[in-house]
Amino acid sequence: MKRLSLLLLAWALALPAQALNIFACEPEWAALAQELAGDKTSIYSATVGTQDPHRVEARPSLIAKARRADLRICTGAELEVGWLPVVLRESANPAIQPGQLGAFEAAAYVTMMDVPTRLDRSEGDVHPGGNPHIQLDPRNYLPIAQALAQRLAQLDPVNAASYQQRHASFHQNWLAAIARWEKQAAPLKGQPIAVQHKGFPYLENWLGMKEIVALEPKPGMEPSAAHLATVLGKLQTQPVRMVLRAAYQSPRPSEWLAERAHIPSVELPFTVGGDGVAKDLYGLFDDTLTRLLAGLK
């Protein structure tokens, strides 16, 4: 029995030491942390790719993960305002509370789009800091990755050199990938599109696509049949090439419009894990462009 215990202890000691526990609010930040930290961290994503990041249940298992976290990586810009404050309060973990070194919000490192000039909740789910769906412009990952690598090094100085080395490698590979994606996406420039939810402004800005109309009458509000009929009428004078929706959304509104306007309804992964191809950050953009280009045919 003693010999068995010693063997188990030796096996445990042989396991790679993971210096940091990371709690990522969305899969794209878990994927970025994986790129920068590798096996130096234990990474948990609070949401999956087919889940609406606006609406998450603050369940006990989520709170338990937050309680043990050394670093919290979230989008910010109030994307998680409906559930994260409860998780933070119930976790009672001072290290990841707002303003602490263990609290990292990606939106702080990019230029925000659709920042409202006035706040009026009657206009739907409007975010005061701007549209929070920053993950669909690959250029945004460059400043975010740089800031996150620095934060990892601050929290875990023993492995700082590893984080810096992995960041340099990611930066080089990501720039090459962006150049390849932009060449591939050239036919999308200037193409008019409809969107089910205003979740794609960063993608549109990157690729030069022009959003003509959104199916939701207000952000977060399901369109009625009467509203969809109004949208269909608008497309008679302003036609679009396709209607986009995220993988987590119901296909009914976009497929209703697609059938009547004779255009493709294109489902995009929206984040890592949104479909079986988008298994990491590179797969997210590979698959997004493949689906958009297929929508032009």
Bridge partners (DSSP) of residue 211 are 193
Tell whether the model's pLDDT for residue 49 goes beyond 80. Answer: yes
* Top-tier CATH class for 20-112+124-180: alpha beta
State the average pLDDT over residues 268-288. Answer: 97
* Residue 194 or 7, more confident: 194
User: What pLDDT, on the 0 to 100 scale, is given for residue 111?
Assistant: 97
State the average pLDDT over residues 93-119. Answer: 94
**E-assigned strand segments in 95-173:** 103-105
User: What pLDDT, on the 0 to 100 scale, is given for residue 173?
Assistant: 98
The fold for domain 186-295 equals Rossmann fold (3.40.50)
Tell whether the model's pLDDT for residue 17 goes beyond 70. Answer: no
pLDDT tens string 168-221: 999 999 999 999 999 999 999 999 999 999 999 999 999 999 999 999 998 888
Tell me what percent of the residues of the chain surpass a pLDDT of 70: 92
User: What pLDDT, on the 0 to 100 scale, is given for residue 281?
Assistant: 98
State the average pLDDT over residues 43-54. Answer: 94
DSSP 46-97: SS-TTS-TT-----HHHHHHHHT-SEEEE--TTTTTTTHHHHHHHHT-GGGS
**Positive or negative torsion for Cα 132, 51, 257, 244:** positive
Q: Do domains 20-112+124-180 and 186-295 have the same CATH topology?
A: yes
Tell whether the model's pLDDT for residue 277 goes beyond 80. Answer: yes
Tell me what percent of the residues of the chain surpass a pLDDT of 90: 85
User: What pLDDT, on the 0 to 100 scale, is given for residue 253?
Assistant: 96
User: What pLDDT, on the 0 to 100 scale, is given for residue 122?
Assistant: 64
CA–CA gap between residue 224 and residue 253 (Å, rounded) = 9
State the average pLDDT over residues 222-244. Answer: 96
User: What pLDDT, on the 0 to 100 scale, is given for residue 129?
Assistant: 84
Average pLDDT of the chain to the nearest whole number: 92
Using alpha carbons only, give the angle 28, 49, 253 rounded to the nearest 5 degrees: 125
User: What pLDDT, on the 0 to 100 scale, is given for residue 121?
Assistant: 65
Tell whether the model's pLDDT for residue 53 goes beyond 50. Answer: yes
CB atoms within 10 A of CB 77: 22
How does residue 112 score in pLDDT terms, banded at 50, 70 and 90? very high
Tell whether the model's pLDDT for residue 12 goes beyond 60. Answer: no
> Is the CB of residue 96 less than 8 Å from the CB of residue 23?
yes
Domain ranges of the chain: 20-112+124-180, 186-295
User: Which of 85, 75, 86, 178 lies closest to 131, judged by CA?
Assistant: 75
